[in-house]
Structure 1
Amino acid sequence: MSFSVSISYPPLHKNSQTAFLSQNRQFQWTNTKNFIFPVIPAYTATLLKSKGHKVFWDDAIAEKLSYQQWLNRLIKRSPGLIAIETKTPVIKTHWKIIKDIKKAFSVNKPTVIANSFVGATLAVARRRGNLSTSGRSHRNQHTPTIVLMGDHVTALPLESFKNSPVDYILTGGDYDFMLLNLVEHLTKGTKLSPGFYFRSNHNLIHRHPEPVEGSPQKQTNTKILNSGKFALKNHNLDILPIIDRALTKNHLYTHNNSNFKYTPGAYIMSGRDCWWGKCTFCSWTTLFPNQSYRTFSPQHSLKEIQNLIENYNIKEVFDDSGTIPTGDWLKKFCHGLIDKGFNKKIKLGCNLRMGALSQKEFNLMKKAGFRFILYGLESANQKTLDKINKNIKVSDIKETLVKAKKAGIENHLTIIIGYPWETEADAQKTLNLARQLFKDGLADSIQATLLIPYPGTPLFKELKQANKLLTLDWDKYDMSQPVIKSPISSQKQIQLIQSLFKGVLTPKFLLKKTLSIRSLNDFTHLAKYSLKFLSKLKDFK
């Protein structure tokens, strides 16, 4: 039985800024206008289509749609199920959107609909003749089932039932396997896999539901049930089909991304998610606990790249696994790139942990086509690295960057400001190290962020228990301001981040980069990064 599914990212805007949501471990409102390809939702869409279901890829953020345009299109499509990936800073907005969707698809009740933002949207559309005034026209004989997924709802699944008419919460990060199971449950009565939360009075009689202690009682006396703790280890990634890049509108994500020096570019994920997976601040450890770590085979990842080269003329690929698989996997993958000649057709980038590779392995990566690597430096203070369970030494930082540079690979660094145990002197130590690495030619680009403790992470639990959180208003977890009590004032934390960006773009650095230009790609990439740095200054103000 065919079912209609929409993988949706509703429009999200704050002033003139765009939501940095998809494929992001940290959320931010940004001026950079980058849109990153959501890899796992793309696998979800592809898997559902391969099973005969109708799938609509609905990324209104990347398509730059207004709320009215998006809602009108959704009503016209009238999917049976709408899946929305959410994150802490926009969860409250998504609750409102879910309410709007439910009202828009309900039987025509103008007095009710008129009280919401969507009511005004529908009224305008009707006046323009875009929508019929009959209830049947926008109800289309059904109200869609709405699913929320992401690290926030995995950590706090009951909260969304209390605050919105959401139908299902999908926990864990394997959206593809889980949504297929849900569709088969709704259409065939297949038993739900562990990891779903739902209302006891929803469409079908759910098999073997487990009541959740303390679940909210609604006016209809419904309870929130669940199908058990999510279990990812049994999901074999290699059975997933190669991503359908046409279905998932890959063209929306191929150019405006500073990770791509050569365009068009594309994203893949060879692992879910990080083989370390224990950093206390990382939100994706909520979706992919360390014990659930899995990889595609090197052969599967090579097939993804082959598809990108042959069918989409992709020039650069970024592997956005939390950390690219290492050891035998990396060796086989690199040799596969070389043997198939892909290293002569594309460049690659990836995330990597400090201290993970030998010089020989860096050399092999360079030969295989790797152009740059992104590292989480996080802090120059060993105490901090230990407290966040980073499992690296400060000495690993320079040693790793020297090896990569010796192999001819560019280095991108990320650092974090706002640890509650760090003084201003501690934070300045990190900034000084970053500047020195740039001065020594060991770093090529950098990003700095405020420390945001997302629900579900060990860091959030620790800070909440210690009364170190300034607020539990999720809207404020958007990196526009600190949410953690700190010896460093909120204003000073922002100033430190600004000083890093200003301090890195020195005349000497720009001159060095300018002298290294050998092609149009070199020039455009430098210009792109310079503009990104300027945009980041606007993000933190």
Structure 2
Amino acid sequence: MPDKPLDVLLINPPWTKKGGNIWKSVASVMPPQGIAVIAAVLEDAGLRVRILDTHAMKVAMEDLKDWLQAYYKEPPRFIGLTGSTMNIQYSYGTAEICRELYPNAKIVLGGVHASEKPQEAISEPFVDFVIRGEGEFSFQQLAAGKPLADIRGLTYKENGRVIHNEANELIKDLDVLPMAAYHLLPMDRYFPAVGSYKNLPAVSMVTSRGCPGKCTFCYQPFGSLIRQRSPKKIFDEVQHLIKTYGVKEICFYDDNFTTLKPRIREFCKMILDSKLEFTWSCFSRVDWADLELLKLMKKAGLRQVMYGIESGDQQILDTIRKQTTLEKIRTANKWTKEAGIEVRAAFIFGNPGETEETMKKTIDFAIELDPDVAIFNVVIPNPGTQMYDWAVKNGVLKTEDWEQYDLTKPVMTLANVSGEKVQEYYRLAYRKFYMRPSYVLKRLLKIRYMADVRSLLAGFKGILNVVTTH
């Protein structure tokens, strides 16, 4: 029996994948960085914390109660839950189970959906508090007993009224945050999505917050101001992951890892000087591509870059405020391949203004670019995005049943194309891109290890799941 009672149990709730979504077969299971950093902040304040990552432990919703009763018998003072729009119903369901098992615990909900829809979240009968925005220090203050009225970013109920405290300030210096509490996670159970890694063990890291992009479909929980951890902090965490957990590959999940080039150059220099052996991948924007920097990153172990291409039609790109051109996309794709780095490209169907012709252009453009991995989704107007506001204002939002927001079906009524037709092109894109003989041959020729075979088979299974689902 531990000397100190359990202060906080943080739960990454179950998320049952939907049929037809390719991620059912090829989804990643990566460390929940948000709650892991919160856990570290709480521990630094002297609190005792545990984490249950149901994704990593493969705990289905129907098994959650039994799992908690078996492995988490000690009642916590606080339970922290997170959730996106896509899986928020599972967060609410988890709150209900926790209330039954731990009737005296205070249940706290955070994450992007609760931050944007706090009134909805606090109206759930089993939710006691909602923390909006960056919640590390708000949660710490709540668990430490600070008066509720003095905690910024907090939403709570008092005498039948809902109170929304003043919003949190953004954490300007991310170096004040401790390293994620990896020691509380099952680090041997994480792996990236099929096609996005070569070496295991592989985990994710986040080194910045904020994105200056204006994409209408993208929710920016951390605002537009870019705040970044220093190269030294990033390198120290990488070194810790390699030496402590034997990590061989790291996926940097920043919205745009390459925003500030001097930071990336310094980080790459640290890797090269240290002679650390690991591979890595990152997300970037095509308009920030730089051939010289790409070559340096490749030398420092970069294996793959993920670009959000979105559409093969310039008018659609302009409509969704992508702030780029087809020619810039072609150039970034060319430079990345020239540097010897794999390209992973994401495309979306069902944007405002979409037609059959624009969707055909997107498929043709994907085939022209011929990235190593292509991801096709149906656009989702999540709450907090410009696209959501546009859909509500124009009366074209079909539903606010959040379980339908699964990236495989339209939830907006479009003027020029039916939802059924959007889904048809979504499936067609996978079929036309991945079932080309030239692509299949290229992938077969790249096979070097048994892991490559497993990845190829899993990817093929995922594609079949999409193209055969109606």
Name the Cα RMSD after superposition.
2.4
- The worse-fitting range, judged by mean Cα deviation, of 399-408 and 83-92 is 83-92
Q: For 1:494, which of 404, 423, 426 is the aligned residue?
A: 423
User: In the TM superposition, what is the alpha-carbon distance from 1:55 to its structure 2 partner?
Assistant: 1.2
Quickly say closer, same or farther: Cα 1:74–1:154, change in 2 above 3 A.
farther
Superposed CA deviations along residues 164-206 of structure 1, whole A, max 9, x for unmatched, are 231111111x23333223222x2x5597442111112xxxxxx
The corresponding residue for 2:143 is 183
Q: For 2:82, which of 71, 85, 90 is the aligned residue?
A: 85
The question of 1:334 aligning with 2:268 is answered: yes
Quickly say closer, same or farther: Cα 1:100–1:315, change in 2 above 3 A.
closer
The corresponding residue for 2:359 is 427
Q: For 2:253, which of 313, 320, 327 is the aligned residue?
A: 320
Find the residue that maps to 1:89 and give its secondary structure.
Answer: helix
The corresponding residue for 2:8 is 5
Q: Which has the larger radius of gyration?
A: 1
The question of 1:280 aligning with 2:277 is answered: no
- The worse-fitting range, judged by mean Cα deviation, of 324-333 and 92-101 is 92-101
| 8 A contact 1:34–1:256 mirrored in 2 | yes
Superposed CA deviations along residues 112-156 of structure 1, whole A, max 9, x for unmatched, are xxxxxxxxxxxxxxxxxxxxxxxxxxxxxxx11111112211111
| 8 A contact 1:60–1:70 mirrored in 2 | no
Q: For 1:252, which of 189, 210, 216 is the aligned residue?
A: 189
The corresponding residue for 1:149 is 110
Q: For 1:401, which of 333, 336, 344 is the aligned residue?
A: 333
User: In the TM superposition, what is the alpha-carbon distance from 1:351 to its structure 2 partner?
Assistant: 0.2
CA distance in 1, matches of 2:345, 2:237: 27
User: In the TM superposition, what is the alpha-carbon distance from 1:410 to its structure 2 partner?
Assistant: 0.3
The question of 1:158 aligning with 2:119 is answered: yes
| 8 A contact 2:17–2:24 mirrored in 1 | no
CA distance in 2, matches of 1:537, 1:68: 35
Contiguous gaps of at least 5 residues in structure 2: none
User: In the TM superposition, what is the alpha-carbon distance from 1:494 to its structure 2 partner?
Assistant: 1.6
| 8 A contact 2:350–2:422 mirrored in 1 | yes
- The worse-fitting range, judged by mean Cα deviation, of 396-405 and 236-245 is 236-245
The question of 1:303 aligning with 2:264 is answered: no
CA distance in 2, matches of 1:270, 1:14: 28
CA distance in 2, matches of 1:256, 1:494: 22
Find the residue that maps to 1:459 and give its secondary structure.
Answer: helix
User: In the TM superposition, what is the alpha-carbon distance from 1:305 to its structure 2 partner?
Assistant: 0.6
Find the residue that maps to 1:290 and give its secondary structure.
Answer: coil
| 8 A contact 2:213–2:322 mirrored in 1 | no
Q: For 1:61, which of 55, 59, 62 is the aligned residue?
A: 55
User: In the TM superposition, what is the alpha-carbon distance from 1:361 to its structure 2 partner?
Assistant: 0.8
CA distance in 1, matches of 2:35, 2:301: 27
Structure 1 runs, 4 residues or longer, greater than 6 Å off? none
User: In the TM superposition, what is the alpha-carbon distance from 1:101 to its structure 2 partner?
Assistant: 2.5
- The worse-fitting range, judged by mean Cα deviation, of 448-457 and 83-92 is 83-92
Find the residue that maps to 1:467 and give its secondary structure.
Answer: coil
Letter in 2 for 1:517: I
Letter in 2 for 1:453: P
What's the TM-score, normalizing by structure 2? 0.91
Letter in 2 for 1:175: G
Counterparts of 1:526-537 in structure 2 under 5 Å? 526-537=456-467
Quickly say closer, same or farther: Cα 1:198–1:73, change in 2 above 3 A.
farther
Letter in 2 for 1:151: V
CA distance in 2, matches of 1:497, 1:480: 8
User: In the TM superposition, what is the alpha-carbon distance from 1:527 to its structure 2 partner?
Assistant: 3.8
Contiguous gaps of at least 5 residues in structure 1: 21-27, 107-142, 201-220
| 8 A contact 1:377–1:415 mirrored in 2 | yes
| 8 A contact 1:261–1:521 mirrored in 2 | yes
The corresponding residue for 2:375 is 447
CA distance in 1, matches of 2:194, 2:105: 34
Superposed CA deviations along residues 458-495 of structure 1, whole A, max 9, x for unmatched, are 11011110111112222322234211112222222122
CA distance in 2, matches of 1:29, 1:437: 23
What's the TM-score, normalizing by structure 1? 0.80
Superposed CA deviations along residues 333-381 of structure 1, whole A, max 9, x for unmatched, are 1111111112xx1011000001202211111111111000000000112
Percent identity for Structure 1 against Structure 2: 27
Letter in 2 for 1:309: I
The corresponding residue for 2:198 is 261
User: In the TM superposition, what is the alpha-carbon distance from 1:72 to its structure 2 partner?
Assistant: 1.8
CA distance in 1, matches of 2:55, 2:208: 26
Quickly say closer, same or farther: Cα 1:537–1:252, change in 2 above 3 A.
farther
Q: For 2:28, which of 13, 28, 34 is the aligned residue?
A: 34
